[in-house]
Amino acid sequence: MRHLLLAAVALGATAPLSLPIAPAFAQTASPAIAKAVADPRRKAENRARDRYRHPAETLAFFGVKPNQTVVEVLPGGGWYSEILAPLLHDQGRYIAAVPAGGRAGFSRFTAADPARFGKVTVTEFAPGKVPIAPDGSADVVLTFRNVHNFLMGEDATPAAAFAAFFRALKPGGVLGVVDHRLPEGRDSALEKKSGYLKRSTVVRLAEQAGFRLAGESEVNANPKDTADWPDGVWTLPPTYQLKDKDRARYAAIGESDRMTLRFVKPAR
């Protein structure tokens, strides 16, 4: 998966200042989520990207609460970890499922600030080989901008990943997915190389694993993103794959148009 750990690299890039690009979102984040997002200990470059990632609204939409067991799949360099670990520190449990090759690096990240990350549980993300959490133990499983990597990898990876999510969740548990959105009318072959994927593809993968689509939000939408860039989604910030070529143009567009989907594991 060529871009599996892209998030870790992207943390070093600060998003350009601009007005919010997503439509207003009706659901209000809980005081606990708002406090975690506003934590001044978060890296400045991470906080600068809140205008694109809308963490408070996104976590509220997924129903994340401080007393839950929450698994984040492939947390990369820890962008959401800076929010989730403190949020769940006192009453809940935060599990970070990382690839085998990334465990040492993520463990160094958590060890650097024991006050915030000392209770983080690190597991391995190896679909079909080891569980991301004990079966039926998680209230919420979250994966941010990772499903496209599954499509770009081995053919069996997407089904195995969603099966792992399903097994880890309690009956009634929530799977939250955010990913770069490819318009439904585009050639599906683009899902293997552009970093974008269709909403229908995510829904199909989730439903095949046993999930039910329970809601979707446009909080992470960006109508400026036409999803047809020369080097795929990585043309846009924060990656700027083309470096300085047309950089101002891509900065004005902002980060990608993203679907935000909430699935539920049926209670029975």
What is the distance in angstroms between the CA of the first residue and the CA of the last residue of the chain? Answer: 34
Q: Pick the closest to residue 81 from 44, 132, 130, 43 (CA basis).
A: 43
Flag whether 111 is in a domain. yes
Flag whether 113 is in a domain. yes
Confidence (pLDDT) at 44: 97
Flag whether 134 is in a domain. yes
Q: Cβ of 168: how many Cβ atoms within 10 Å?
A: 26
Q: Which tops the pLDDT comparison, 20 or 188?
A: 188
Confidence (pLDDT) at 45: 96
Confidence (pLDDT) at 12: 33
pTM for this structure?
0.89
CA distances, 268 to each of 139, 157, 265 (Å): 15, 26, 8
Flag whether 51 is in a domain. yes
Confidence (pLDDT) at 21: 35
pLDDT at 133 over 90: yes
User: pLDDT of 177-196, one tens digit each?
Assistant: 999 999 999 999 999 999 99
Name residues whose C-beta falls within 8 Å of residue 242's C-beta, 6 or more positions apart in sequence.
230, 231, 235, 250
Domain with 52 in it: what CATH number? 3.40.50.150
User: pLDDT of 141-150, one tens digit each?
Assistant: 999 999 999 9
Query: What one-character DSSP code corresponds to residue 134?
Result: S
Which residues form the domain of 194?
A: 6-13+30-228+254-264
Q: Pick the closest to residue 97 from 133, 61, 68, 64 (CA basis).
A: 133
pLDDT at 173 over 70: yes
pLDDT at 24 over 80: no
Q: Give start and end residues of each alpha helix (H) in the chain.
A: 6-10, 31-37, 44-47, 50-53, 55-61, 81-88, 103-111, 114-117, 147-152, 157-168, 199-209, 247-253
Q: Which sign does the torsion angle of CA 141, 145, 146, 147 carry?
A: positive
Number of domains in the chain: 1
Flag whether 42 is in a domain. yes
Average pLDDT (26-55) is 93
State the number of CA atoms in the 13 A half-sphere of 190 facing the CB. Answer: 21
User: pLDDT of 80-121, one tens digit each?
Assistant: 999 999 999 999 999 999 998 899 999 999 999 999 999 999
Write out the DSSP string of 206-218.
HHHHT-EEEEEE-
Flag whether 23 is in a domain. no
Flag whether 56 is in a domain. yes
- Where does residue 173 fall: left (phi above 0), alpha (psi -120 to 50 degrees), or beta otherwise? beta
Confidence (pLDDT) at 268: 77
Confidence (pLDDT) at 27: 67
Q: Pick the closest to residue 138 from 57, 198, 72 (CA basis).
A: 72
User: pLDDT of 201-252, one tens digit each?
Assistant: 999 999 999 999 999 999 999 999 999 999 999 999 999 999 999 999 999 9
Contact by Cβ (8 Å): 222, 254: yes
The structure tokens listed for 42 are 């978060």
User: pLDDT of 45-90, one tens digit each?
Assistant: 999 999 999 999 999 999 999 999 999 999 999 999 999 999 999 9
pLDDT at 20 over 90: no
Flag whether 240 is in a domain. no
